[in-house]
Amino acid sequence: MAEADPADVVADGVDQVSLEDQFKGAQREMVAELNDAAKKEGADTSLISFGKKDTDEALWRFLIQVGWNLLSALDLVKSACEWHSRNRGTLDGVLRDTFAKKPGMFSLRQVGHDKEGRPLLFICFAQNSATPAEHTVDSIISFAQHIAENAGRTNRQGAAGKEGKTFTLVVDCSGIQPKAILKPTMLVKVHQTMTLLYPSTVDSILLFNYGPEVRNTWKELKGYLDEELAAKVKFVAVQNASRTLTTKFPHDEGQWLRDELAANKTLPLSDDQIHFWAQGSEHDPRAAPPYVAAFIDKRPAGHEPHPGILYGEKPEKPVEGE
């Protein structure tokens, strides 16, 4: 049996919405026109999609980003294709070497899906082991690109809505040092590059376990982002946390987030939470049970979980009685 093309592999249980339903009339014609124009300019448009079958959906997102201006979208598509062509081949080796030595360098990871089928991404700053010197624009972009590419292939959401296929990001602010990490120049560069590569892909960014310093820093930084993205950042107060998790996420993902957020709130972190890339003794910090079963235990072609899970050594568990 021939091995499946990784770009064509789709998550278990994904219902694919036909392109005929996704794109109507003039919009569909503009997508085709943009694809033809990009190819005439020598751009490989398959590089900008999360899979070969998603190229039209990716082009649609680029058009949304620029208000359906064909020439502006063409410029963005060409730049994105050039970036992917130049960098994609080198990222896997860098990530493998980096995370084999330091599995917890960055904690951003896919942990499941929300109720609409969007990939659910999670990050906890207390779990990041990157030093200030390692916390560079290039390292952040290469890692975030790896996570986005793989998470995008598990998207269970059709592209029929205004947003298209998007992500939900939950940010656990435990352990964050806003002034040390959230620097304007770094934020702008990461934002510009990720917006170029994956326009119109963020549905919402939900912040938990934050303090006054985080809110004050956000007031200073949000002016560096475009208004549309800044509007998607929501601070979830303690009294609203349970309701938000119940409303936004399926039961398993919602419960996992409750447990993970609670476990990370107590500093210093336990060994299980520090070693989030390994299965814990009680709570599993890697991800919610459905994601663990479908994408970590099974490892389907076309999707890779957090590189620490793939390449990092598992911490030795203490022997009982010692």
Tell me the per-residue pLDDT of 29-84, one tens digit each, with 9 for 90 and over: 899 999 999 999 999 998 888 765 678 888 988 998 898 999 999 999 999 999 88
Q: How many CB atoms lie within 10 A of CB 90?
A: 10
Q: What is the pLDDT of residue 14?
A: 40
Burial class of 266 by CB neighbour count within 10 A (0 to 12, 13 to 18, 19+): exposed
The pLDDT > 70 percentage for the chain reads 83
CB 206 within 8 A of CB 170: yes
Answer yes or no: pTM beyond 0.75.
yes
What's the CA angle centered on 147, arms 122 and 176, to 5 degrees?
Answer: 40
3-state per-residue secondary structure call for 30-61? HHHHHHHHHHHCCCCHHHHCCCHHHHHHHHHH
Q: Please, which pLDDT band fits residue 111 given cuts at 50, 70 and 90?
A: very high
Residue 23 CB contacts under 8 Å (≥ 6 apart), including other chains: 31, 56, 60
Q: What is the pLDDT of residue 38?
A: 95
Q: Which amino acid is located at 322 in the chain?
A: E
Q: What is the pLDDT of residue 181?
A: 64
**Cα-based distances in Å from 100 to 96, 141, 149, 169, 312:** 6, 18, 20, 25, 5
Is the peptide bond preceding residue 268 cis, with omega within 30 degrees of 0? Answer: yes
- Positive/negative CA dihedral, 215, 130, 308, 192: positive
CB 65 within 8 A of CB 200: yes
Q: What angle in degrees, to the nearest 10, is found between the helix axes of 55-65 and 70-101?
A: 110
Residue 31 CB contacts under 8 Å (≥ 6 apart), including other chains: 23, 56, 59, 60, 63
First-last CA distance in the chain: 50
> Hey, what are 82's tokens?
């050039």
Q: What is the pLDDT of residue 9?
A: 36
Residue range 139-176, pLDDT digits in tens: 888 899 889 989 988 988 654 344 456 899 999 999 98
Mean of pLDDT over the chain: 84
> Hey, what are 193's tokens?
């590059």
Length of the chain: 322
Average pLDDT over residues 17-39: 76
Q: What is the pLDDT of residue 85?
A: 85
Residue 237 CB contacts under 8 Å (≥ 6 apart), including other chains: none
- The secondary element (H helix, E strand) that includes residue 264 is helix 251-265
**Among 10-19, 94-103, 150-159, 243-252, which stretch is predicted with the lowest mean pLDDT?**
10-19
